Amino acid sequence: MEQYIVKGGNPLVGEVEIGGAKNAALPIISAAIMTDETVTLENLPDVNDVNVLLEAIGKIGAQVERVDRHTVRINGSTIQDFSVDYDYIKKIRASYYLLGALLGKYKNAEVPLPGGCNIGSRPIDLHLKGFRAIGAKVEIRHGSIIAKAENMRGAHVFLDKVSVGATINVMMAASMANGRTTIENAAKEPHVVDVANFLNSMGADIKGAGTEVIRIRGVEKLHKTTYSIVPDMIEAGTYMMAAAATKGDIMVKNVIPKHMEAVTAKLEEVGCEVEEFDDAIRVVASKRLMRTHVNTQPYPGYPTDMQPQIAVVLALAQGTSIVTESIFENRFKYVDELTRMGANIKVEGNTAIIDGVEGFTGARISSPDLRAGAALVVAGLAAEGITIVDDIVYIQRGYEDFEQKLQSLGAEIEKVSSEKEIQKFKLRVG
C-alpha cells in the first residue's frame, strides 16, 4: 500500500502549474460520446478518476486514443452498449454522468446506482427528477438506474437543492431533447460553465450557465470539437492553502483568479498577502495567521472541496475559528487525524470549533477522502518531524503529480511503499 512520508518545517516557496479541472473533465468526457464525430480534449488532468472514466467509455464501445498525457481523442460512433459496469461506478461516482450523455444521445441508459462515499450519503434524486421531467422513464432495478425515453421533450426543471451533478446531468440530457428546457436553481460552479461551453462547442444551444437559470434549446445532432479543460480551482486552492500553512511564498500559475475569489478573501482575512495576475495568484504568509469563520456554500461561496484545507490553516492560526460545512453531512472525518498531530478541534454537528495551536507534530495518519487527504499532507508539511500518510490512493484520484509539485516547492516528501523506503527517507532527511 503506497504512503506519503513527509518531513515538515520547510516553508513552501516557488511556482506551481495547475492542471485541468477533474470536476469538469469527468462530465466532459461523458458528454464527448454524444456525437458520432471525433472529439479532442486538451488539458485533461492525468488523475485516476479521469483515467477510470476513459476506460469506462472504452468498455461500452467508444474509441479512446491517448494523444499525450493531457490530450485524448474520443469517438462515440462505435458505442454498442448502453449499460455501464458496476465496478466503474464503484471506482468513481461520476460515472453517473454517462446517464445524461447516453440518455441524451441514445434515449437509453443503464448505470448502477452510486453508493454513498466518505463525505456523505450523496443521493441522486434530483438527477432522476430532471430526467423524468424531460420525458424519460426512470426506474431503479437490481441496483441500477434504467432510463429510457421514446421522445424527450423540453421541460421546466426546478432543482430543490443546488446540485453540481444534477445541473450538469440534466443539462447534458436536455441538450438533445426536443424543445426548450429551463433549469432553475442551477449550480454556478466554473466546471458547470465549462461543460456548457463544451456542449455549445459541439453545436448545443445552452444559455445562462454560471447563473441560477440555464436555458437549453435541444438540437438533433452534436458535432466534433477540440476543447481545453478549465484550470482546476480546487487544485489551485490547495496549493494556496499550503503556502499559508507553511508560512511560504507560492506563485500558483495557470489559474483564473476570479474562480478563486472566495478562497482569496479568506486567505486575506487570516493575514496572507495575495497578489493576482492575469492567470496566476501569489500567496505569501510571513507571520502567524489569525482566526476567521468559514461557511461552505455553493459557488461563488466558499467551496466545500476547500474546507479541510482551510481547517488545517486555521488549526495553526491564532484564536478560535468556526468552520461550518453546509453542503455534506460527514466532511470532518479528518479532524481525528489532525488531533493526533496536536490540533485542538471540536466537531459539533456540521460545525468545527478550532482553537489554533502553535504547531503540529508529525504522526502516522490516514487519508479519509480526496480533499481531506491533501489537507493532511499539508498539515504534515507544516508539522515538526515526520508524518506518514496512509491511503493516498484517494489523493491520487484528484491531484496529478502531487508529491512532485510539492517537492518542486521545497517540500521533503516522498511516495513510499515499504519500511525500507521509509528508513531510507529518514536517513536522508536526518
Question: Residues interacting with ligand EPZ, by CB under 6 A?
Answer: 23, 26, 94, 120, 122-127, 161, 163-166, 187, 304-305, 327-328, 370-371, 398
Angle between helices 97-106 and 125-133 in degrees, nearest 10: 10
Nearer to ligand EPZ, 282 or 371 (CB): 371
User: How crowded is residue 150: how many other Cβ atoms within 10 Å of its Cβ?
Assistant: 8
- Angle, vertex CA 175, rays to CA 170 and CA 180, nearest 5: 90
Residue 53 or 317: which CB sits closer to ligand EPZ? 53
Q: Are 57 and 35 in contact (CB under 8 A)?
A: no
The string over 331-355, giving b where at least 16 C-beta atoms fall within 10 Å of a residue's C-beta and e elsewhere, is bbbbbebbbebbbebebeebbbebe
Taking the complex as a whole, the smallest distance from the CB of residue 162 to ligand EPZ amounts, in Å, to 7
Task: Decide whether 296 or 366 has the Cβ nearer to ligand EPZ.
Answer: 296
Q: How far is the CB of 183 from ligand EPZ (least distance, A)?
A: 13
Report in angstroms how near the CB of residue 292 gets to ligand EPZ at its nearest. Answer: 21
Minimum gap (Å) between residue 208 Cβ and ligand EPZ: 18
Q: What DSSP assignment string belongs to 61-80?
A: T-EEEEEETTEEEEEGGG--
**Shortest Cβ 199–ligand EPZ spacing (Å):** 16
Between CA 144 and CA 295 the distance in angstroms is 35
**202, exposed or middle or buried, with CB in 10 Å at 0-12, 13-18, 19+?**
buried
Q: Which residue is nearest to ligand EPZ (CB)?
A: 165
Nearer to ligand EPZ, 161 or 288 (CB): 161
**Minimum CB distance to ligand EPZ, residue 367 (Å):** 12
Give residue 78's identity as a one-letter amino acid code. Answer: T
Q: What are phi and psi of 184, to 5 degrees?
A: -95, 150
Cα–Cα dist 191/294, whole Å: 22
Q: For ligand EPZ, which is the closer residue by CB, 26 or 216?
A: 26
* Residues whose CB is less than 8 angstroms from the CB of residue 140 and which lie 6 or more positions away in sequence, other chains included: 113, 146
Tell the smallest beta-carbon distance from residue 225 to ligand EPZ (Å). 21
Strand-pair partners of 111: 145
Catalytic residue at 272?
A: no
How many Å apart are CA 198 and CA 266, to the nearest integer?
31
Query: Residue type at 177?
Result: A
Nearer to ligand EPZ, 122 or 132 (CB): 122
Give, in order, the Cα–Cα distances in Å from 366 to each of 5, 333, 394: 12, 10, 10
Query: What kind and span of H or E run contains 145?
Result: strand 144-148
Nearer to ligand EPZ, 10 or 48 (CB): 48
Grid coordinates representing 80 are 454498442
* Catalytic residue (one of 2, 36, 91, 117): 117
User: Residue 403 and residue 383: Cα distance in Å, rounded?
Assistant: 16
Q: Are 131 and 99 in contact (CB under 8 A)?
A: yes
* Catalytically annotated residues: 117
